[in-house]
Amino acid sequence: MDDQAKGLRELVERKREKNSKFISVASGKGGVGKTNFSVNFAYTLANDFNKKVLLIDADIGMANIHILLNIDTKKNIKNLFYGKSIEEVIVSSNGFDVILGFSGIDSMEEMDDISISMLISQLETISYKYDYIIIDTGAGIDTKVASFLRASNRSYIITTPEPTALMDAYALIKSIYNMYGYKNFKIVINMAKNKDEAISSFNKLKMSANKFLDIDLDILGFLPNTKNIKKCVTRKEIISKTFPQDPFSLEMKKICALEVQEEIEEAGNFWKKVFNFLGQKR
Ligand SMILES: Nc1ncnc2c1ncn2[C@@H]1O[C@H](COP(=O)(O)OP(=O)(O)OP(=O)(O)O)[C@@H](O)[C@H]1O
Ligand SMILES: [Mg+2]
């Protein structure tokens, strides 16, 4: 038992050295820009802010980060459940590390809730190596998405100004709050026509969350609609790399500048358990 406690204490000390942030990227409605956000956020933190970043494609069964990064999926998250260690499935691309996902309905069944918990625990063991661990999730709310969100220090909810997307973003926030009392959300309004539309969309969401859930939502940023994104998706390029002066890339830099200034508010659930466990052993 002493050895176990010592091992855990060492793990905690290593974690403190890096103080890595777990950030989940989620949305209610699909196709609102989560994956483009996640890839450009990872790229900008790594290349413009010199951060050590791990990006995870956790859109179970519908993975597509490998398409945007133009890399094959031979090594992917599923290998973890066939005896590979987490280090063995990590690939490097564009200055950051990535754990790729997989596609297909059969694979979805293999990735049950126990596998997700196992993945989250394995991530904790390598988290000391990273400043940021960014998890791109699938659209909507299921137990897998909920597990990632509740284990994260912060969850970024991406939405467009469309009323349906706003409604679904609200429904996602409400579900996670009702299930776990989790409140660490930040909102990104993507593809707004202009700043006014973005601000009024955010205010609608903020007012509902205030009134009905007692959550004070923060905005992370407004990302403009830009033709260069489609160009980059088609060419399998990263807009922040190919068009660093595009308004999208400039806004992404602002978001990252704000992000790196923020202290971590709270250790993840796992670490609380570790601290409690160590406390009991003393
Ligand atoms: N700021 C933007 N300006 C213009 N087009 C955008 C912008 N953000 C995303 N898109 C377009 O929207 C589409 C969906 O983007 P993306 O794949 O990132 O969404 P998603 O939320 O990850 O989707 P899914 O729910 O299927 O995982 C992409 O084809 C992309 O070209
Ligand atoms: Mg996606």
Q: 177-231, pLDDT tens digit by residue? A: 999 899 999 999 999 999 999 999 999 999 999 999 989 999 999 999 999 999 9
Dist. CA 233 → ligand 1 center (Å)? 9
Taking only the tens place, the pLDDT of each residue in 255-264 is 999 999 876 5
Residue 135's SS3 state is strand
Dist. CA 13 → ligand 1 center (Å)? 39
pLDDT at 118: 77
| Average pLDDT along the chain | 86
Strand partners, 90: 99
The strand pair at 154-159 and 21-26 is best described as parallel
Question: How much is the average pLDDT of 13-33?
Answer: 82
pLDDT at 107: 52
**Which pTM was predicted?**
0.88
Confidence of residue 279 (pLDDT cuts 50, 70, 90): very low
Confidence of residue 76 (pLDDT cuts 50, 70, 90): confident
Confidence of residue 3 (pLDDT cuts 50, 70, 90): low
- The domain defined by 21-263 folds into Rossmann fold (3.40.50)
Closest Cα to residue 224, out of 262, 203, 195, 201? 195
Decide: 191 in ligand 1 pocket, CB within 6 A. Answer: yes
Q: Where are the domains of the chain?
A: 21-263
pLDDT at 281: 38
- Closest ligand to residue 30's CA: 1
Dist. CA 131 → ligand 1 center (Å)? 26
Lowest mean pLDDT of 12-26, 44-58, 107-121, name the range.
Answer: 107-121
pLDDT at 277: 40
Closest Cα to residue 42, out of 56, 32, 28, 29? 56
Closest Cα to residue 23, out of 58, 47, 67? 58
pLDDT at 229: 96
